Structure 1
Amino acid sequence: MSKENNKKSKRSHVSLLGLLFGNRNKQLSFLEEEQLQSPMRTVIKNFVANKVAMASLFIFIIIFLGVLIYPAINKIDLSYQEQTQQNVSPGFNMLKIPKKLQGNIKEVSIGSTFSVGLSNDGKVFVWGKSKITSVIDVKNIPDNMGNVVQIAAGADHVLAMNDKGELFAWGNSRNKQCAIPDNLKQVTNIKRIYSGYQCSAVVTEDGMVYFWGNTGIMDFKIGDYQGQIDKIAINSQGVLGLTKDGQVVSLTANELAFSRIPEGMGKAVDIALTAQTGAAVTEDGNVYVWGNKTKNIHKGETLEDVVAIQGGRFHYTAILANGDVVSWGQDDFGQATVPSKVNNSEISAVYTGYYQNYAVTDNGKAITWGLKGYILGTDNYGRDVLSRIMHGGRMTMSIGAIAIIISITIGIIVGGVSGYFGGKIDMILMRVAEIVYALPFLPFAMT
């Protein structure tokens, strides 16, 4: 008899475990399931059957993993601001060269959030984030320019010259950077045109420099060097010049870090500027960098056999005598990492500006590297919105998860005690819970 009772007891324990943990063969009716299966199993089954709940859980897990992993991979500088990247719209078209231009590129010039290309047949193309304001778009190219031979992109405007030596400018002209001076309309020996931050300039064959636009910021001052300049470089604060005899000179009256040019450099053949530094290539192929040397900008001084150099916002790109291309400096957007494809191709010219680079091959095609754009755009301080959301979301999601865990723990304990003892204890605990629920949430959340 005792053996038989033991068997029944084992069967009842097995069936109870099966009900609790899901092992059953018999299909139970709805009422039987409600009576016999465990509460946790009922909750899980109903949750899994709810497609909206499952989709929400999946999305939550993806977001939670994203805000945990993204900040670990992409570090953020909380003090970062970039005036040239303010209020950029979402998208990845900053390096998207028009198909009609690829294979027919004569030259490229780079603006703050857009680029301008010139084809071999004199046509101008604009791509990237070209809308400067709600009403100004540099894609609105003048249609009466004729055969264009030179282009220069500034922060928010474009300067162009046709084969007759006529100058055209469009874009933002609030500081008269698009207003061609009258004394330039009679000049026919323009060698090179330049655009910068709210300013424009030209250098003539006889070494004359004409500068117009926001002269207040630049405080342009050529002094005794007028008639001696071979080329210039412009950034957001000043102008650097290279004389015909290879001397690097500052063309800014203000005392700036990059205007203190080192002595004993020798004869220079090329110059460039970033936002905070100046650089020069000497005739023996050495690179000199001066100014606020941050973000690995000094590494260029170890290079040899350099023949040309160009500067972006915080990086430099140089061409070596053997045709190789090298970049160094800030690399937050990959602008200082030259693709291997570049040095495996025959490169005829390299163009660098702000956060983009274009290496043009012998067949007129461009290989690009650098900033393509922003998934969610930037804010009014030029900060990447996605990065800030992900870094802020890590703290928000962590606090939210901890709060939920604490509330679930308290709820289980209070509910368990209330259900187990019942009576007055149940009534007291439920009234306390109702009082807590009645309190307004927002003031406590703000506190």
Structure 2
Amino acid sequence: MSVSLRIALISGRAVCVEAASDATLAEVAQQAQAALGVGRSQLFDTAGSRLDSSLTVRQAGLRADDQLTLCSRAVQVAANPCACAAILGDGVVVTWGSDERGGDSVQVKLTDVQHIRSSSSAFAALLSNGTVVTWGVFFDPVNVRDFHRLSTVQKLHGTNFAFAAILADGSAVACGNGDYGGDASTVQGRLKGVREIQANDFAFAAILEDGSVVTWGNPRAGGYSEAVQAKLVDVQCIQATSEAFAAVLRDGSVVAWGAPRFGGDCGAVQAKLNDIQHVQATRAAFAAISSNGSVVSWGSPAHGGDSSHVQEQLRGVL
């Protein structure tokens, strides 16, 4: 004996599946996935509870014409100051807010989306096939058309008005407003073996596989790192404020560059920046946690750069 089940995606697309009463819910989900053209997913009942995939249709108490929801992952939401974009469980994107700043998306292309990055006025969506779709406003963009021709994108990152992508071969490319990192032509030849990219509002910093760093974008905001380039070796990770970067090196020391009032100069606390494990950032200040649990901060006092009045309490911080 079989029952007819209506199985829908969050976007509303649905299919009717004929399932034997002794079929497991995992098998039912596989039928629905194949019919709807989506990846591995989970079934949920009308109350929103996840169904145990090992149960049979009979054991789950499902009856003819029951309605289930197929969800492949949690909903992801990205936002800029004027609009939002959400990836639904089946990879379809829904947008709302200012039409000009990304609230009105190109829906026909936004399917099977894996990840979304936002800038101040635009969005970039990474699809499962490695291509990228952008929408919104870039203001005097560079290389946007070439960006859309990419087919092996692995990761996306964004400043206020630009995006950068890491490709499968380890190279990186950028598009958008040149003053915000949208033009990487001056360093393009060095963007090979890229491990990770960090972005602030105006610039990008790429960590290469050999632990060195390549920067581009607004020079005053960290897009030009020549003054500290010799120190940027064995870099483990980079954090960013709005206009500065701070890199943690393998030996536990820290190198900062960019706008001094945004944390780009850590000279006043450099002697204390030893055995650093982690660095966190606000809009204009950094806080570094050392291996002994103490905290060192620098940058704008109004944004957390001065922790002297609570220093005695900052012990054993994890």
From 254, 264, 284, give the equivalent of 1:314: 284
Query: Hey, what does 1:140 align to over in structure 2?
Result: 104
Query: Hey, what does 1:290 align to over in structure 2?
Result: 257
Structure 1: distance between partners of 2:281 and 2:253:
16
Matched, 1:243 2:214: no
**How do 1:326-405 residues align onto structure 2 when only pairs under 5 Å count?**
329-330=299-300
- Which residue type is aligned with residue 261 of structure 1? V
Report % sequence identity.
22
Identify if the C-alpha distance between structure 1 residues 112 and 284 changes in structure 2 by more than 3 Å, giving closer, same or farther.
farther
Structure 1: distance between partners of 2:130 and 2:237:
24
**How do 1:112-261 residues align onto structure 2 when only pairs under 5 Å count?**
112=81, 118=87, 122=91, 124=93, 130-131=97-98, 136-144=100-108, 145-176=110-141, 180-182=144-146, 184-188=148-152, 190-215=153-178, 218=181, 220=184, 221-252=186-217, 256=220, 258=222, 259=225, 260-261=227-228
Structure 2: distance between partners of 1:330 and 1:143:
42
Q: Name the SS for the 2:248 alignment partner.
A: strand
Q: Name the SS for the 2:230 alignment partner.
A: coil
CA shift for structure 1 position 149? 1.2
Whether the 8 Å CA contact 1:175–1:198 is kept in 2: the answer is: no
TM-score w.r.t. structure 2 length? 0.54
- Which residue type is aligned with residue 306 of structure 1? Q
Whether the 8 Å CA contact 2:244–2:262 is kept in 1: the answer is: no
Whether the 8 Å CA contact 1:271–1:310 is kept in 2: the answer is: no
Q: Name the SS for the 1:206 alignment partner.
A: coil
Query: Hey, what does 2:80 align to over in structure 1?
Result: 111
Structure 1: distance between partners of 2:137 and 2:128:
24
Q: Which has the higher contact order (CA 8 A, sep 6+)?
A: 1
Greater strand content: 2
CA shift for structure 1 position 160? 0.8
Identify if the C-alpha distance between structure 1 residues 159 and 238 changes in structure 2 by more than 3 Å, giving closer, same or farther.
same
Structure 1: distance between partners of 2:290 and 2:89:
25
TM-score w.r.t. structure 1 length? 0.40
For residues 53-97 of structure 1, what are the alpha-carbon distances to aligned partners after superposition, in whole Å with 9 as ceiling and x for unaligned?
A: xxxxxxxxxxxxxxxxxxxxxxxxxxxxxxxxxxxxxxxxxxxxx
Structure 2: distance between partners of 1:108 and 1:277:
26
Identify if the C-alpha distance between structure 1 residues 217 and 152 changes in structure 2 by more than 3 Å, giving closer, same or farther.
closer
CA shift for structure 1 position 203? 1.3
The structure that has the greater radius of gyration is 1
